[in-house]
Amino acid sequence: MNLVNLGCGGTYHQAWINLDLEPPTPEVRTWDLRRGIPLAPGSVDAVYLSHVLEHLSRSDAKAVLQDALRVLRKGGVIRVVVPDLELQCREYLAALEAVVHAEPGAEARDEWMRLELLDQMVRTRVGGDLLEHILAAPPAQRDFIRSRIGAEAEVFWKQPEEVAGARLSRPGLMHRLPRWIRRKLAAAAVRVIAGPTAVAAFQEGLFRNSGEVHRWMYDRVSLDRLLRDTGFASYRVVDAWASGISSFAQYELDAAGQQVRKPDSIFVEAIKP
């Protein structure tokens, strides 16, 4: 089977073709999905996108899905995972109501849900206010945070020396060094030509195009509409384990054992008719 994981980040399996804008390891190919998918028409059995579409503009997201339709064989499966806007809104409203009724711990949940909804759309630095909130979270708040973002939260609560060591040993840093140097030189040129205010705007623009910022959000209704408008059929909402992709659970992309990697997600599939 030809299986393609688009925008895989650090969650990938060697049985798949793995592409990402900022690959964390040389095993993942550097690729900007806005350039199209570098595969032949009808050559793929399944396309998987997890927490990718929300980082693209609405037009770019539709273009990526159209190209996924192109590379899939007839009957091929597309699996899309995104933060669930409906679930986030329901959790936010529940937390807000809990604050009104002075329930214990409600204010912390309310603050978290507000950050979860908005921070990644407006942030101008890596991690934004949400990262600061996670790092400062007392033990009493950590179970709720785990319920929202899964085991990834544990990374932020490690001892500082553990985190620093992991970053230093992380593969792929040397691959990004030339680009980092080019950006430093470009910023210096902008400073000379237009001054420090222009440099700040330039750096913010680079950051917002780095793939970290959310440019749109989706729920079960808008995803259904988007996939059907693109040409897919048989849309269905599934869980982290169920899939029309053969042996999908064994790849542990959405869940490892009984633990869902990104509990804040909606999981949907459709097929190429």
Q: Does residue 94 sit within a domain?
A: yes
Contact of 262 with 150, CB cutoff 8 Å: yes
Q: Does residue 213 sit within a domain?
A: no
Q: Does residue 143 sit within a domain?
A: yes
User: Are 178 and 148 within one domain?
Assistant: no
- State phi, psi for 13 to the nearest 5 degrees: -135, 140
Q: Does residue 166 sit within a domain?
A: no
pLDDT tens per residue, range 85-123: 999 999 999 999 999 999 999 999 999 999 999 999 999
Confidence of residue 166 (pLDDT cuts 50, 70, 90): very low
User: Are 203 and 253 within one domain?
Assistant: no
User: Are 201 and 229 within one domain?
Assistant: no
| Residue 60 vs residues 78, 132, 146: alpha-carbon distances, Å | 17, 30, 31
User: Are 178 and 245 within one domain?
Assistant: no
Helix (H, G, I), strand (E, B) or coil at 103: coil
* DSSP state, residue 11: -
Q: Look at the chain and report how many structural domains it folds into.
A: 3
Number of Cβ within 10 Å of residue 108's Cβ equals: 18
Residue that the structure tokens 């007839």 belong to: 74
Mean pLDDT of 32-36: 93
Q: Which of 132, 149, 131 is nearest to 212 (CA)?
A: 131
User: Are 33 and 99 within one domain?
Assistant: no
pLDDT tens per residue, range 187-199: 778 777 888 888 7
* DSSP state, residue 132: H
Q: Which of 113, 100, 106 is nearest to 140 (CA)?
A: 106
More confident residue, 182 or 268: 268
Contact of 228 with 258, CB cutoff 8 Å: no
Q: Does residue 97 sit within a domain?
A: yes
* pLDDT for residue 170 is more than 60: no
| Structural domain of 26 | 3-83+218-271
* Residues near 127 by beta carbon (within 8 Å), at least 6 away in sequence: none
More confident residue, 81 or 126: 81
User: Are 78 and 149 within one domain?
Assistant: no
Tokens read off for 182: 């080019």
Residue that the structure tokens 């002075």 belong to: 102
User: Are 154 and 190 within one domain?
Assistant: no
Contact of 1 with 246, CB cutoff 8 Å: yes
Confidence of residue 33 (pLDDT cuts 50, 70, 90): very high
What is the pLDDT at residue 169?
A: 41
Q: Does residue 64 sit within a domain?
A: yes
User: Are 177 and 156 within one domain?
Assistant: no
CATH number at 262 reads 3.40.50.150
User: Are 21 and 92 within one domain?
Assistant: no
User: Are 20 and 52 within one domain?
Assistant: yes
User: Are 65 and 120 within one domain?
Assistant: no
| Residue 23 vs residues 8, 159, 182: alpha-carbon distances, Å | 8, 25, 18
Whole-angstrom distance, CA of residue 235 vs CA of residue 22: 30
